[in-house]
Amino acid sequence: MKYLTAGICMLLSVLLISCSGFGSQDILKRFLDDCIEKQRHMVIVQLDGIKLWDPKINDIKPLLNNKYMQPHDSIISPSFCINREKLLFSIDKINERGEASANLAFLSLKDGSSDVVYESKNRIVSPILSPNNNKIAFLSEYKRENLYSLFVYDLSSKGVMKLIGNNALYGYGYNYNISWSPDGTEIAYTDTNGFLNIINIETKKNTKLIKGYNPLFSPDGKQILFADDLYKPYTPLIYDLVSKQTRKLKVGSGVYNAIWSPDGKYLIIVKMDSSLKNILKLNEWGKKVYVYDIAEKEKTELFKFDGFEYIDFK
């Protein structure tokens, strides 16, 4: 009887593992089919330039290489415009004296042409386009470690507004750091005390929320995805703006970035590649990208790449 019970338990374990695998495959197929139907893509940053993830092959291909830049330039935080016809990014420039400056530029995904729209004497990080495509929010005036001011550049008037000065925002690495609300009236950010905030760009009304970093509005504007720590790896959480409740996501440890899918059904998770093969290669740049089904509370691997953890999805 003892052996029969043990055998049944082993069989159930195998069945559970098998079912879990089938569930992951179902999520992957459903996700890829949806991306192909809606022509969705992701953009990542490798050491040799920007790459585009194509759902038809579930792999990456070249998009922008370093021929657009000088030897000491770096591509910072590329993101899709709303219509996915252009890519917005910052080019971080360092001269022979070690002085930093930056340009904001658009890259046409149709013909590969680039257009610089704003030049700054300071470093620029986290440039993001507003939902109506007429404003760019970004962090600049870097003074001390991870501290920035918030600016909004108007593409129509060519004017720039300092929305929050005095280096009153936290920003870190290849994060979004700031996020537009879906209606384009508000921006979420983290203050220097480590609290999530939302500021209205017209009235300047500021609302302090809870402790957290790297906020991202959900596509419906009702939730905010955020990190529990400024540094990486971190634990991603979701804050509900209606119920004021926070929930932890069961995506495992070692998260380096997490973003919403455009429909809000999934999260795209970037982790370090901790496989034995990657560790033996002593590859510090290895990353794994997962898709996490929020309703099913299950994740499955999408693809691997070597590069930075920043990722955008439209």
25 φ/ψ angles, rounded to the nearest 5 degrees:
-65, -35
Q: How far apart are CA 91 and CA 113, in angstroms?
A: 15
Q: How far apart are CA 231 and CA 214, in angstroms?
A: 10
Provide the CA 121 distance to its chain's centre, in angstroms.
Answer: 26
| pTM as predicted | 0.87
The domain ranges of the chain are 69-248
Between strands 213-217 and 179-180, the pairing is: unpaired
Q: What is the pLDDT along the chain (314 residues), one digit of tens a residue?
A: 544 444 444 344 433 434 444 467 899 999 999 999 999 999 998 877 789 999 999 999 988 654 545 545 677 788 888 777 899 988 888 777 877 788 999 988 888 788 899 999 888 889 999 999 999 999 997 767 788 999 999 999 999 999 999 889 988 877 899 999 999 999 999 999 999 999 999 999 999 999 999 999 999 999 999 999 988 999 999 999 999 999 999 898 889 999 999 999 999 999 999 887 888 887 889 999 999 999 999 999 999 999 989 999 99
Q: How far apart are CA 52 and CA 37, in angstroms?
A: 17
3-state SS assignment for residue 174:
coil
Q: How far apart are CA 132 and CA 129, in angstroms?
A: 8
First CA to last CA across the chain, in angstroms?
A: 56
3-state SS assignment for residue 225:
strand
Q: Which CATH number fits domain 69-248: 2.40.30.30, 3.30.750.24, 2.120.10.30, 3.30.200.20?
A: 2.120.10.30
> With the C-alpha atoms ordered 63, 69, 72, 78, is the resulting torsion angle positive or negative?
negative
Q: How far apart are CA 150 and CA 169, in angstroms?
A: 7
